[in-house]
Amino acid sequence: MKADVSKIDATTRAIIAATQGGLPLTAQPYDAVGDVVGLSGAEVQARMQAMLAGGVIRRIGAVPNHYKLGFNANGMTVWDISDEHISELGQKVGALEFVSHCYHRPRHLPHWPYNMFAMVHGKTREEVKSHAKEITAILGNSVNASDIIYSKRILKKTGLRISS
Amino acid sequence: MFETDKKLLNDFQRDFPLVPRPFAEIGRSLGISEGEVLEDFTRHIENKTISRIGAVVRPGTVGVSTLAAMKVPQEKLIEIAKIVSSFDEVNHNYEREHSFNLWFVITAPNESRLQEVLAEIENKTGITPMNLPMEHDYHLDLGFKLKW
C-alpha cells in the first residue's frame, strides 16, 4: 500500500502539514488551521471529514505518550508465521487492545526468520510476556518461532514531518 | 488521576469533534467548561502525557517509509546511532536488546530517496541495514485503551 506524495492534492497536503504537530489548543482550532492554509474553518472541517472517510486520516484525537503514562515495558514482539495464515492471524492480533501496531514485514533468512511484528504495551515486562502468551495462543500451530525485543533507549523520536 | 482526566485521555483518542468549538463539545459531554478542557489538554501536552491532539495520518499517504535494523558493535553504538539520527529522514531511532540492537524508521518522499538514505547509512557506518518495509498493516488504530 504505497502512495506517492503526488496522489494527495495540495490542500490535503497543506492541512496535514499544518496539523501534524497537533491542532492548536484554542477554542476554534479549525478556524486557526484555516487561517494557515487559506480556507474557512468550516472548509477545514469538511476537508478533514472527507480525509477520514477516504482513509487518509485514521483518527483525530489525543495521541497519548505511552511512556509518560507508565507503560514503560513496551515490547516489539516478532513472529514467524506460516505464509498461508498470516493474513487471517495478523488481523486477529492487530485487533487486540494491548497491540498498538501490527505489520507483515519480509523475512531476511537466515538472519531474520520473523514476518509479523506486533507492538505490545505493558507497565512491566511480566505484563508484556503475558500478553505475548495470549498472542501465542491465538496463533496456535501456525507459529514457528517468536521473540520479544525490548527497547533500551530512545535515541531519536520525532513525529511525521512534511514540509508544506 | 481524576475521572474526568482519564476520560479526556481515553475517550478522545478518536472521534475528536469536527465542529467549530470542539473543546466546548467535549466539555458538555464531561460536564466541565470549554476553558477547563483546554486547560487540561494543555497541561497534558506540557507534561507530555499526550504528545498532541491531532490527526493520525495513514502510513504511506505522504511518502514512503520503512523499518530498518542493524547489528552494531556495542562500543560503536553511540557513534553509529548519531550518524543514523543525523538524517532528517530518520524519525525514530531506538536501541533495543537484541543482536540487531539499532532499530530506526526512515520516511522519505519517494522510494528512490528511501533507498538512497539506506545506501548512505551503509556507506557512512560500514554496516548494511536490514530493510523491513511494511507489506500489510493489520491494525486499524482506533487509539490505545488506557487502564489505570
ipTM field: 0.78
Q: What is the pLDDT of residue B1?
A: 55
Is residue B57 included in any domain, yes or no?
Answer: no
Look at residue A161 in the predicted model and tell me its pLDDT: 56
Residue B23 has pLDDT above 60, yes or no: yes
Suggest the residue from A49, A97, A155 to mutate for an interface test with chain B (most B CBs closer than 10 A).
A155
What value does the mean pLDDT of chain B take?
90
Single out the residue of B110, B22, B123 nearest to residue B60, CA to CA.
Answer: B110
| B41 located within any domain | yes
- CATH number of the domain where residue A14 is located: 1.10.10
Burial class of residue A28, CB neighbours in 10 A (0-12, 13-18, 19+): middle
* CA dist., res. A26 & res. B84, Å (int): 37
- CA dihedral B20→A59→B53→B31, nearest 10 degrees, is 60
Residue B145: its pLDDT value, please? 61
Domain with B25, as residue range(s), is 3-46
> Chain B closest CA to A151's CA: distance in Å?
4
User: How would DSSP label each residue in B58-87?
Assistant: PTTSSSEEEEEEE---GGGHHHHHHHHHTS
Which three three-digit cell numbers place residue B12? 478522545
Which three cell numbers mark B106?
526512515
**If pLDDT is split at 50, 70 and 90, which confidence band does B22 have?**
very high
Q: Could you tell me if residue B123 is inside a domain?
A: yes
Domain assignment present for B70: yes
| Mean pLDDT of all residues in A64-71 | 79
User: Which pLDDT belongs to residue A3?
Assistant: 42
Residues B82 and B115 in one domain: yes
For A3, the closest of B60, B92, B100 (CB atoms) is: B60
Q: Which residues of A touch B137 (CB under 8 A)?
A: 1, 94, 102-104
Q: Residues near A155 by Cβ (< 8 Å), separated by ≥ 6? A: B81, B84, B85, B93, B94, B95
| Percent of chain B scoring above 90 in pLDDT | 68
CATH number for the domain that contains residue A101? 3.30.70.3460
Q: How many domains does chain B have?
A: 2
User: Which residue, among A155, A157, A67, has the nearest Cα to B47 in the 3D structure?
Assistant: A67
pLDDT at B59 over 80: no
How many CB atoms sit inside 10 A of residue A43's CB? 16
Lowest mean pLDDT among A98-102, B34-38, B75-79: A98-102
- Enumerate helices (H) and strands (E) in chain B, giving the number of each: 5, 6
Mean pLDDT, range B86-114, rounded to an integer? 94
For the stretch A69-117, pLDDT in tens is 777 788 999 999 999 999 999 999 999 988 988 999 999 999 999 999 9
Same domain as B79, residue B30: no
* pLDDT above 80: residue B95: yes
Of A101, A150, A159, which is closest to B96 when you measure between CB atoms?
Answer: A150
CA angle A47, A51, A55 (to 5 degrees): 170
Strand partners, A102: A118
Residue A155 has its nearest CB partner, among B38, B52, B85, at: B85
Residue B61, pLDDT score: 78
Cα distance between the two ends of chain B = 9
Provide the domain count of chain A. 2
Position A113 scores a pLDDT of 98
Contact B138 A104 (CB under 8 A): yes
Q: Does a structural domain hold residue A98?
A: yes
CB atoms B21 and A49 under 8 Å = no
At residue A102, the 3 state secondary structure works out as: strand
- Whether A37 and A82 map to the same domain: the answer is no
